[in-house]
A and B are shown apart, each in its own frame.
Chain A
Amino acid sequence: MQPFTQHTGRVATMDRSNVDTDQIIPKQFLKRIERTGFGEFLFYDWRYHPDGTLNSDFELNQPCFRDATILVARKNFGNGSSREHAVWALDDYGIRCVIAESFADIFYNNCSKNGLLPIVLPASHVQTIHERTASGEGYELGIDLQAQSVKDKQGLTATFEIDPFRKQCLLEGLDHISLTLAHADKISQFEKTNGHWLGD
């Protein structure tokens, strides 16, 4: 997994709550058996008109958001389906971090398995970021995972919570499966001891 330590980048805002995974990556793109190449399909039905031309009204199509690497929404981002393709699409598009007031559980989990940092900030900070992004082009945030902080050049300093294990895995880009397999003896022991319950 790609590590996440620090990142400074342009912000794109989506002034929406409940952005669901069906919007992030519509179902017609879930037939692919690869893990890569989903970026061009990110937010497809919002990003493009039915005839395939760019929908200039959609947030990410604004010229000022073209180079954004940090996406900021509102509440309950990523609700709906468990499709990890949503995270692969954001990652492939170039998003390194999503900031919202809250996330759906499975999406949040999927992010941290792919080196993409989901950050929960209080509504007041999210509002500040939305306002500052709207008031001037090229608004940037600096994110430091070790310090658990989000800062801008205008004095915003916010801290965020993250579970220590998830943080360590992201900082070091650790492979979750290898970490668990370090306890393979315990898994075998569990299977021996609990066989009667497990129906073995």
Chain B
Amino acid sequence: MIANNPRTLFEKIWDQHVVHEEPGKQTILYIDLHLIHEVTSPQAFEGLRLAGRALRRPDKTVGTQDHNVPTTDRSLPILDDVARQQIDTLRNNCKEFGVKLYDLDSPNQGIVHVIGPELGLTQPGMTIVCGDSHTSTHGAFGALAFGIGTSEVEHVMATQTLAQIKPQSYEIRINGSLGRGVTSKDLILYLIGQISTAGGTGHVIEYTGQAVRELSMEERMTVCNMSIEAGARAGMIAPDQTTFDYIRGREFGPADFAAAVERWKTLPSDPDATYDRVDIFEADDIAPQITWGTNPGQVTSINSTVPNPEDFADPTERQSAANALKYMDLSAGTPMTNVLIDRVFIGSCTNSRIEDLRVAADMVRGRTISDRVSAMVVPGSGIIKQQAEAEGLDRIFLDAGFEWREAGCSMCLGMNPDQLKPGERCASTSNRNFEGRQGRGSRTHLVSPEMAAAAAIAGHFVDVRDWD
């Protein structure tokens, strides 16, 4: 009996959702929640129409507009015809297929991975998918959540299931507590630096250990969010009292909350459960992190220097580092704190939640951003924007010289007009520093909200542990 064997959190959720399996075939897995947005859904809806298929469970499908939306005045028309057509298409598709949509005029509109948890849609034990790689965010609640392509979006729409090969399990344990000035963003950037951007390929990571248990839900979401940057299929954290407290009272939380908590308490990995792979790290080893290259694994400590490509043993890594330094216009040996910046972006599904905005506001309160910097804050959702304004955070940012925008993915991927100019260097709280990610020729350094805020004031990167 499989139920008697010790199982991991991942295995329990997997087993619970198996609809059908047979030798030589992929497992058909039930999907509890399908989140959709304007960029990866239009071709899937069109596929349903062409095949004359219905959307099986509109009640388990929720949409929002986030990737391609303007973050400026929403009462003005969208000038980009192609962008506007994509946004209109999601609106029309949701209407035609009966899907709940948090549209541009909804107070709940926001980044799909921010509003799912915020609305209480994201719950422990669920399977959650979305046509977006950062769906791994929802794993922070002890859900199995992963990104899918548009063909699979269509598959979920038509069947409310996915055919999957079971991934391997991977425990990453972090002993001890994170130090002062070291955030969950630094934790995940450090881990990616250690295991590489392909380190988690084919695996579902479960983050465990004291440092993880001590994180808030917002911080856990930041960690799980960037599991995909470690190459993992998904990232998860076992639900606990922190999780239950976050969900309690949210709009789409369970009707019988007490009963749900009892179920959720059965989810954490059994004490004797084994993982296919285990890595153990010490929180003491982690300093605030900053990327220097063009993938999230090219990362170092803020009190360190730009690495020398010659120090990389692997020839491909060496070439990759040399290419990255050329693209980033950085010289080996330069202290990271000497690197001057032009722009600051605080936002994205990684770091745009209320806690992120609070800590960033604390850094800039009563100060003014550097003359050489232009900076913007893009809240993750309309609700977060409202809450921040109720707390006066918008005033703190505006007084310091930041722009204060409407919710969306914005400059994380620069699909909308929020982009860097060629050669501009940005301290960004987002998740990817790929070439051209924030605009052609743009140079992105991934950091925590604290580090981004401090850099905005100083005009260069600073070690937030030295910030008074």
Contacts and interface: CB of A to CB of B under 8 A. Distances in A.
Interface centre among A23, A104, A114, by most chain B C-beta atoms within 10 angstroms, is A104
Contacts of A114: 151
Contacts of B32: 198-199
B165 interface: yes
B386 interface: no
Given A26-B436, A27-B414, A183-B20, A18 B197 contact: yes
Given A79-B231, A165-B24, A106 B432 contact: no
A97 interface: no
A87 interface: yes
A186 B160 CA distance: 12
A87 B43 CA distance: 14
A23 B433 CA distance: 12
Contact of B434 (A22, A35, A102): A22
Interface string A80-98: 1111100100000000000
B42 interface: yes
A194 B133 contact: no
Interface stretch (B77-85, B172-180, B237-245): B77-85
B68 interface: yes
Interface stretch (B99-107, B142-150, B445-453, B459-467): B142-150
Interface centre among A80, A113, A177, A191, by most chain B C-beta atoms within 10 angstroms, is A177
A197 B125 contact: yes
A27 B415 contact: yes
B163 A179 contact: yes
Main secondary structure of the interface of B (DSSP, over half): loop
Contacts of A27: 413-415, 437
B19 A186 contact: yes
Query: Which size class do A's interface residues fall under?
Result: 35 or more
A110 B202 CA distance: 15
Contacts of B40: 82-84
A105 interface: yes
B85 A33 contact: yes
Nearest to B23: A164
Contacts of A186: 19-20, 28
B186 interface: no
A104 B229 CA distance: 10
A50 B68 contact: no
A76 B201 contact: yes
B415 A110 contact: no
Contact of B231 (A22, A23, A26, A105): A105
Contacts of B198: 18, 75-76, 79, 102, 104
B155 interface: yes
A192 B3 CA distance: 21
Given A26-B436, A82-B147, A187 B161 contact: yes
A169 to B, nearest CB: 9
Contacts of A35: 43, 46, 150
B441 interface: yes
B154 interface: yes
A15 B197 CA distance: 18
Given A22-B432, A197-B263, A30 B415 contact: yes
A28 interface: yes
Given A33-B85, A76-B197, A50 B440 contact: yes
A100 B414 CA distance: 29
A177 B133 contact: no
Contacts of B436: 22-23, 26, 45
Interface string B314-354: 00110110000000000000000000000000000000000
A199 B254 contact: yes
B231 A177 contact: no
Contacts of A75: 198, 316
Contacts of B414: 27
A22 B437 contact: yes
6 contacts: A22-B435, A28-B415, A50-B441, A102-B198, A163-B165, A187-B160
Which 3 pairs of residues, A with B, have the shortest CB-CB distance?
A: A113-B151, A84-B149, A33-B42
